[in-house]
Structure 1
């Protein structure tokens, strides 16, 4: 959908930012340049290493070569300048840290074991407790509605009732 391999999506999102979460991206790097960068130069670890050790020469050449093959403009040097700008790496690293999923949280649910917490619908107080730390009432209400009410197919012809 974005022209980026799935394994690069987090880096893509961190580069371009996410307006819906109020996370600005690296200044001057939008959807197109982020996708081109990752497609042409590979993972950001390699890009940052090239910027550090070769001033971004290899990244600029890779982007220009990639763009030329597709009949596009040569933008390698400008992309490298934006990545090398003060605060660019910090913005990228911050976005990655915020956007990355957490796998170290014990939510006390076990959806793979029938009859245990984790199968929908979930326990409303538990969902409320887990989501409340976000301090976003609309998100809490949405989580409660989606996760604690019976699925639409279980609620009869009219769907779930009340709330």
Structure 2
């Protein structure tokens, strides 16, 4: 499906970091496994899916203040002792190099102060006039799936070479709710990996059943207040979690109106800065993966 491809870049370079051995190093011995792995992932995605536009979405703020203000536990377990995100020692130095490679290659790198990559993807997907593929290992992006647009997720759980295509039918088959209801479902269920407690005693099946029956979290909460069709146990659990349910949707839902600047998302026909790209290839031993990326782009880009 030609159109816009959005890369959840942090998700992908973490996958590359853990999927490629740290013994893959630059000429001076610096691990470059995440860099090389990400470049090869992008080359594979471009070659196999031929997108018309491409955006490498980044975290300008991995733990935005507006989400922490709503739920202080949000990603709190990932905070390093000195502050900032806890990142493997050998990954942290690779991230600036990844940014330099993307910039020199001419692949749009998009971030927004105060927002996560999720919010950049949500905003760009909402703005897009054509089809959108979101490449991620984050289930939160399932809330953006929309067959009418169409917007779909290329889920990386089994790797970039074996992507799982997630459309509305796939979300419903897996979770029992349509994609547009996934955020409400996830709010009820919670997500320990993000520090979101959910409603105690409400798991996947109950969350899906409640959202399916009432149509939305807002409608469910009205039923709690107005004596709707709920068991005494369900009403008690939801009432006890009312403070959480009041603020959690603003944390779980990705922003669709973040102040993302207008950026040229066209695939580069030639590198933006060939000299810088050559220097990076030599300094970090990236000649092979950058050659594969160049070959993939040249087959897709006009001319």
- TM-score, normalised to structure 2, is 0.30
RMSD (CA atoms)? 3.1
Equivalent positions of 1:6-155 (< 5 A) are 6-54=179-227, 58-60=228-230, 76-85=231-240, 88-112=241-265, 114=266, 153-154=292-293
Cα drift, residue 24 of structure 1: 0.6
CA distance in structure 2 between the partners assigned to 1:99 and 1:83 by the alignment:
17
CA distance in structure 2 between the partners assigned to 1:152 and 1:34 by the alignment:
48
Cα drift, residue 79 of structure 1: 1.5
Cα drift, residue 35 of structure 1: 0.6
Cα drift, residue 152 of structure 1: 8.7
Cα drift, residue 16 of structure 1: 0.7
8 Å Cα contact 1:83-1:89 kept in structure 2: yes
Label 1:153 to 1:77 Cα distance change in 2 as closer, same or farther (>3 A): farther
Which of the two has greater helix per residue?
A: 1
Which of the two has greater strand per residue?
A: 2
Q: Which has the higher contact order (CA 8 A, sep 6+)?
A: 2
Cα drift, residue 18 of structure 1: 0.8
Partner of 1:127: none
SS in 2 for 1:12: helix
CA distance in structure 2 between the partners assigned to 1:104 and 1:78 by the alignment:
37
CA distance in structure 2 between the partners assigned to 1:28 and 1:153 by the alignment:
50
8 Å Cα contact 1:16-1:31 kept in structure 2: yes
CA distance in structure 2 between the partners assigned to 1:95 and 1:152 by the alignment:
45
What number of residue pairs does the alignment pair up?
A: 105
CA distance in structure 2 between the partners assigned to 1:47 and 1:80 by the alignment:
10
Q: Which has the larger radius of gyration?
A: 1
Cα drift, residue 23 of structure 1: 0.8
CA distance in structure 2 between the partners assigned to 1:28 and 1:154 by the alignment:
48
Partner of 2:178: 5
Question: Gaps spanning 5+ residues in structure 1: where?
Answer: 61-75, 123-149, 158-163
Q: Which runs of 4+ in 1 moved over 6 A?
A: none
Cα drift, residue 59 of structure 1: 2.5
Label 1:81 to 1:108 Cα distance change in 2 as closer, same or farther (>3 A): same
